[in-house]
Amino acid sequence: MLRADALKAIYDRLDDAAVVTIMGAVAAELQALGHRPNFFYLQHGMGLASSIGLGIALSRPDLPVVVFDGDGSVLMNLGGLTTLARYRPPNLIHVIFDNESLLSVGGFPTATSTGTDLAAVARGAGVPRTETPATIDEFVQAFTDARAARELTTIVVKVEPIGPAKFVTDLGLLENRFAFARYLKQMQGESV
């Protein structure tokens, strides 16, 4: 499965959610489908996308939150899973695209290439729902089910270690940061 295809398959279901991605390939792939004000691409803070998502989900229980993570990033902050599970926000879906590598910095293999099972790790951490879809259709179904379940869900999807040719974007980090904050405030009806 290509992550770009998986993203494309659920892109239309991201309208009403705050979406947080890690940096690099996944951010570029989502942006290539069309940037929206409700998308935030976390630059540099590897391993912390789920922590940002957790903060948004806890402070905005009315708002669905979707995090697009990577295996390397999750492995760098395994404690993030235990904290997610501890607070268990029902409005958060944590998608981990597992390409068994640090694709965005050259493709070095990660521990999932030698047997670490991130869905099992999430379960062990206490995440109440985990899914491991193997096809695009199963992924769409798992995502749809997770939206309906209203229970913290981690979806681990094995994908090919293939990304876009380049990660260059014309959306500046600070511009995205302020626009996303404005989106969150507008969604709450606050003045900006």
Ligand X SMILES: Cc1ncc(C[n+]2csc(CCOP(=O)(O)OP(=O)(O)O)c2C)c(N)n1
| Binding interface with ligand X (CB under 6 A) | 22-26, 44, 46, 70-73, 99, 101-105, 110
From residue 38, alpha-carbon distances to 85, 115, 133, 136, 163 in Å are 24, 35, 25, 24, 23
The number of residues in the chain equals 192
Residue pair 179/41 in contact (Cβ under 8 Å)? The answer is no
Q: What are the tokens at 54?
A: 């957790």
Question: Which residue's CB is nearer to ligand X, number 28 or number 184?
Answer: 28
- Residue (91 or 112) nearer to ligand X, CB: 112
CB of 140 to ligand X, least distance (A): 20
Name the closest residue to ligand X (Cβ): 70
CB nearer to ligand X: give 166 or 190. 166
Compute the least distance from the CB of residue 138 to ligand X, in Å. 20
Task: Name the residue nearer to ligand X (CB basis): 49 or 54.
Answer: 49
Distance separating alpha carbons of residues 32 and 42, to the nearest angstrom: 16
Residue with Cβ nearer ligand X (121 or 184): 121
Minimum distance from residue 109 beta carbon to ligand X (Å): 10
User: Are 184 and 18 contacting, i.e. CB atoms less than 8 angstroms apart?
Assistant: yes
> In angstroms, what is the minimal distance from the CB of 129 to ligand X?
22
Half-sphere exposure of 181 (CA within 13 A, CB side): 6
Least distance CB 95 / ligand X (angstroms):
12
β-strand partners of 154: 94, 130
Q: Are 75 and 110 in contact (CB under 8 A)?
A: yes
